[in-house]
Structure 1
Amino acid sequence: MQLFADASQRLEKALQYVDLPEDALAYLRHPKSSLAVSIPVRMDDGSLRVFQGYRVRYDDTRGPTKGGVRYHPHVSQDEVQSLAFWMTFKCAVLDLPFGGGKGGITLDPKSLSKMELERLSRGYIDAIADFIGPDVDILAPDVYTNPMIMGWMMDQYNVIQRRIERAVVTGKPISMGGSAGRDTATGLGAFMTIDAIAPLLELTPSDTTVAIQGFGNAGSILAVELAKAGYRIVAVSDSQGGIYASQGLDIPSIVHYKDSNRRINAVYCEGSVCSVVEHAIISNEDLLALDVDILIPAALENQITDANAHRIRAKYIFEVANGPISSAADEVLKQNGTLIFPDILVNAGGVTVSYFEWVQNRSGLYWSEAEVYTQLKKRMVRATEEIWQISQQQGISLRTAGYVLALERIGEAISAKGTRDYYVH
């Protein structure tokens, strides 16, 4: 099944729990606009390569579309459309004045030099400049894109427009108008969700085991925060594989080691001296099947499907990646009693602080990291509590509850413009 068709099944499930105007449903079944572009890039050796790029604006009922740009070999029109679909609901869940957008380029970014990456990033903006803008569609970092790449994109847009438009891109370097706290926002937001819900689940951090698949920016930041709070993180992994230690891992040491060596290892560090501690080498598949209290998929989509869902033994799953669990796997996990906290809530910290950055760019007034943290926590805790209450009151899954909350807000915005009921009655 294609990713978008699978993602759409979540929408269908939520529709029976919300009184949505027919017009809203008609809007939400299709993206507002999609763009596919070819990006010619002169390589360092003089050769010319043409890369495929995409941008989708899914729905802008509540405001300009907002979403990241990812660089990955598996980027496709279907994937980008699915991610834009999820962003639409994520923004509504957090009550942000945005719709959902997403973009990407199909490539292995590790195979390009820094200069080639810059030419590619600027070429992407050249190709989509008429499709984006601070009041139309706002870009942000995603998989294998970072503040420097966002800075290149903003600068190229400014060159094309012949004026400074900081708010067209978020996740920029602070020196170029970025927001304090943006680089850690996704991981921090996920931690705030776990921290807010732990008392309701009667979880005591020191007695709670955690496994994290994906030790990139979001996964590593979340791991650091969980370790600080006393959770026992027994396994982490990246694209090359994972490590497991039943007694728990020293997360700050692993972060330090990865920053220096670009790979993970079960180490304990004192200053700059690191020594390997007892551990087992495991695969990403093995990590997903560990007997832990909390499983955190923080890598890519479709990591848990109907093919491996029966192996999952975690009591709770917090989705830090976008779409890591297929709709078929949802059903298997539900039958096994696993409670899933959905991506449209758990990883919404990034887009929330991107919204703060956009607000700061538009106003010219910039916030401290403490102010950003305070405002992020308010929104993450409120959204967590709202979804939990809907789930409990209606007896539905947390994922469906998240879509119900989002659909109610999107439906209100569509109704405000006039629907069939207004014109017919």
Structure 2
Amino acid sequence: MSSKKDSSNSNFYKEPGPKLSAESPFESMMERFRFAADILKLDEGMFQYLASPVKQVIVSIPVVMDNGEIKVFEGYRVIHDNVLGPSKGGIRYAPDVNLDEVKALASWMTWKCAVVNVPFGGAKGGVRCNPKDLSKTELERLTRRYTAALLEVFGPDKDIPAPDMNTNEQVMAWIMDTYSMNAQRTETAVVTGKPIILGGSQGRKEATGRGVVTVTLAALNKMGIMPNKTKVAVQGFGNVGSVSAQLMYEQGAKIIAVSDISGGYYREEGLDIPKMIEYSQNNGYSLEGYENAQKISNDELLELECDVLIPAAKEDQINRENAHKIRAKIISEGANGPVTANADAILEQNGVMVIPDILANAGGVTVSYFEWVQDRQGYFWTEERVNRRLNRMMRNAFDNLYGVSEEYNITLRQAAYVYAINRVATTLKLRGIYA
């Protein structure tokens, strides 16, 4: 385990964090972080503190495979910051997970929590493995051994994991049980994203998409555009994209295009989103073969003339190569890092309002916070109450960032980083540095 770095590196202000490619969403995040730090006139010591992780843990995870052989995996957990409260962040299982990626994602979580005024710091975890190659029992043994190696890190008042890439409710249940068995008490609040029967929250699965729609409606209101007069294109039809499309559809918006891995589907008169969701669910969660729409490419979808574009698929979808072709009035980032840093200025020049990912898709961590609160209280809310509180927090966060953007005459994305960094830095100054 390592702690806060000292401030001896004079180049740290200009080149903090992991060395990632210029097109990486994480390097894009660091570029935006540097911009906000300059506006706030952070001194170098404060900059280094906020850019450096509090703790980095690497663990070896020996697992007895189903055939009796022993295989050793590598696991990570990075706590970027815990100034605002316990650290919070998902755990991903993927063959290309590495420490630099986990460090960058942990810092992203710090700013995301700060933007929506959730009293958590940022963290992230991962195990380098291909879960498709593992049986369910091997995944369980891997998860439990990973948890056991991090018992001193995890805790409802310390560090709270959640699902991420290739992990789910079942993985969270195994983590909760392993921690509880070692603590000799049932501790549901040690993870979020659990099955409801184990202390999970109503509304959690839809939370990210619902948050995207809440801030999108707030942006439309600022621009004087009625939802029922709005044309929307959604890239990605997984959990976030399909929920966003459904909720915008329910608001009376015309969803003219959606896409998934099989390509894009366009209909100028508007798509029947409930039927497309039903088709996808009955077709192995794929829109392949859907006939009541014109087939287009994912790239063509991004360039459609529309009021709202929701990129909810992968990172780096809008970059300097295609940013000038974007004809949407609003981009609401359902995915992490769908717009690269070098596309920001182009979109700004063209008058496109971008609702940044650290706000737009923060509905998930917000309801994770609600789940943690409910577990701590032992009292659980209705889905209606969860959704009402989520909508209020997301709307308040949008209004806060809109105010910052007007105060400094900057974009919403720049305002998000200014607001988040200022909140953490101010809290740190008040708390002081323990010595």
Q: Same fold (TM over 0.5)?
A: yes
Instruction: Please tell me whether residue 96 in structure 1 is matched to residue 118 in structure 2.
Output: yes
Task: Name structure 2 gaps, 5 residues minimum.
Answer: 1-19
- CA offsets 1:247-304 (integer angstroms, 9 cap, x no match): 222111121122222233288xxxxxxxx54323333333323332211121233332
Q: Which residue of 2 is the match for residue 223 of structure 1?
A: 245
Instruction: Please tell me whether residue 32 in structure 1 is matched to residue 37 in structure 2.
Output: no
Provide TM-score, normalisation by structure 1. 0.90
1:42–1:237 CA distance, 2 compared to 1 (3 A): farther
Taking only aligned residues, the RMSD between alpha carbons, in angstroms, comes to 2.4
- CA offsets 1:205-245 (integer angstroms, 9 cap, x no match): 23322222222212211111111111121222233433222
Q: Which residue of 2 is the match for residue 390 of structure 1?
A: 404
Equivalent AA in structure 2 for residue 306 of structure 1: R
3-state SS of paired residue (1:371): helix
Q: Which residue of 1 is the match for residue 80 of structure 2?
A: 58
Q: Which residue of 2 is the match for residue 402 of structure 1?
A: 416
Q: Which residue of 1 is the match for residue 354 of structure 2?
A: 340
Equivalent AA in structure 1 for residue 167 of structure 2: T
Give 2:281's match in structure 1, choosing from 255, 259, 264: 259
In 2, the alpha carbon distance for the partners of 1:26 and 1:202 equals 41
Q: Which residue of 2 is the match for residue 362 of structure 1?
A: 376
Instruction: Please tell me whether residue 194 in structure 1 is matched to residue 216 in structure 2.
Output: yes
8 Å contact from structure 1 (residues 23, 419) kept in 2: no
- Cα displacement (A) at 1:384: 0.6
Provide TM-score, normalisation by structure 2. 0.88
Equivalent AA in structure 1 for residue 221 of structure 2: P
1:84–1:34 CA distance, 2 compared to 1 (3 A): same
Instruction: Please tell me whether residue 80 in structure 1 is matched to residue 94 in structure 2.
Output: no
- Cα displacement (A) at 1:98: 0.8
In 2, the alpha carbon distance for the partners of 1:116 and 1:311 equals 47
1:312–1:352 CA distance, 2 compared to 1 (3 A): same
Task: Name structure 1 gaps, 5 residues minimum.
Answer: 268-275
- Cα displacement (A) at 1:409: 1.2
1:254–1:176 CA distance, 2 compared to 1 (3 A): same
1:329–1:106 CA distance, 2 compared to 1 (3 A): farther
In 2, the alpha carbon distance for the partners of 1:42 and 1:161 equals 24
3-state SS of paired residue (1:296): strand
In 1, the alpha carbon distance for the partners of 2:160 and 2:36 equals 28
3-state SS of paired residue (2:374): helix
In 2, the alpha carbon distance for the partners of 1:333 and 1:96 equals 29
Percent identity between the two aligned chains:
48
8 Å contact from structure 1 (residues 254, 264) kept in 2: no
Q: Which residue of 2 is the match for residue 233 of structure 1?
A: 255
In 2, the alpha carbon distance for the partners of 1:109 and 1:394 equals 46
1:73–1:237 CA distance, 2 compared to 1 (3 A): farther
- CA offsets 1:139-177 (integer angstroms, 9 cap, x no match): 112233222221122112222333222111001111101
Q: Which residue of 2 is the match for residue 173 of structure 1?
A: 195
Give 2:173's match in structure 1, choosing from 145, 148, 151: 151
8 Å contact from structure 1 (residues 21, 415) kept in 2: no
In 1, the alpha carbon distance for the partners of 2:163 and 2:350 equals 35
- Cα displacement (A) at 1:137: 0.9
Instruction: Please tell me whether residue 305 in structure 1 is matched to residue 319 in structure 2.
Output: yes
Equivalent AA in structure 1 for residue 156 of structure 2: P
3-state SS of paired residue (1:292): strand
Equivalent AA in structure 2 for residue 87 of structure 1: M
